[in-house]
A and B are shown apart, each in its own frame.
Chain A
Amino acid sequence: KQEVTQIPAALSVPEGENLVLNCSFTDSAIYNLQWFRQDPGKGLTSLLLIQSSQREQTSGRLNASLDKSSGRSTLYIAASQPGDSATYLCAVRSNDYKLSFGAGTTVTVRA
């Protein structure tokens, strides 16, 4: 069974600082890994999708890396802004087609 862990559970940084969010998974037999953003009371918004054959994906200030062999992914958010405050979730699609989530990292960016 795929287990997904996100550390830290919460993070508070001053505006302008870079954010580093970690995700680890136990079974490296995966199709892809997806990072989501969740605002309070809202659904999940997809940020980045990394296929198992890729090492990283970039979108604007966001960059996600994937090391499948070690079961790790990192989401980098450059020059954080108060609008980046949210919960960030990673989800792993395993080769058995299941999409498993971590518990998320709640980010607060202080103005």
Chain B
Amino acid sequence: EAGVAQSPRYKIIEKRQSVAFWCNPISGHATLYWYQQILGQGPKLLIQFQNNGVVDDSQLPKDRFSAERLKGVDSTLKIQPAKLEDSAVYLCASSLGQGPERAFFGQGTRLTVV
């Protein structure tokens, strides 16, 4: 079974530039999550999709971050414009559903804003 795929693995940008991350969840998984993990901290949920609908985006900085999940499969997370404090690992995860199912994570994208 293929896992959660993320790209790119690494990205370095200057502040005020824009950047986009891509995630392909495990086939058939209805729930998709984007997490931000700052060095030394646990992952923080940015947005959660159920199919192509948003379940929770309460911690997404909507003035600069946006995310979409087209056709309930792949997802992209965008930051525009980036700030220094956005430097983190961005993790995508998926699960069959939102209840008792196990969540599977991708390798993450490490973003450095300089």
Interface size for B (C-beta < 8 A) is 28
Distance, CA A10 to CA B72, complexed state (A) = 39
Q: Establish whether residues A97 and B43, one from each chain, have CB atoms under 8 Å apart when the complex forms.
A: no
Distance, CA A91 to CA B35, complexed state (A) = 12
Q: Establish whether residues B48 and A34, one from each chain, have CB atoms under 8 Å apart when the complex forms.
A: no
A4 within 8 A of B: yes
Distance, CA A32 to CA B40, complexed state (A) = 24
* A contact residues vs B (CB 8 Å cutoff): 4, 6, 31-32, 34, 36, 41-46, 49, 51-52, 89, 91, 93, 97-104
Describe A's contact surface by its main secondary structure.
Answer: strand
Q: Establish whether residues A43 and B100, one from each chain, have CB atoms under 8 Å apart when the complex forms.
A: no
* B contact residues vs A (CB 8 Å cutoff): 4, 6, 31, 33, 35, 40-45, 48, 50, 55-56, 91, 93, 98-100, 102-108, 110
Chain B positions within 8 Å of A36 at CB level: 105
Distance, CA A107 to CA B45, complexed state (A) = 24
Q: Establish whether residues B99 and A97, one from each chain, have CB atoms under 8 Å apart when the complex forms.
A: yes
Among residues of A, the one whose C-beta sits closest to the C-beta of B6 is A43
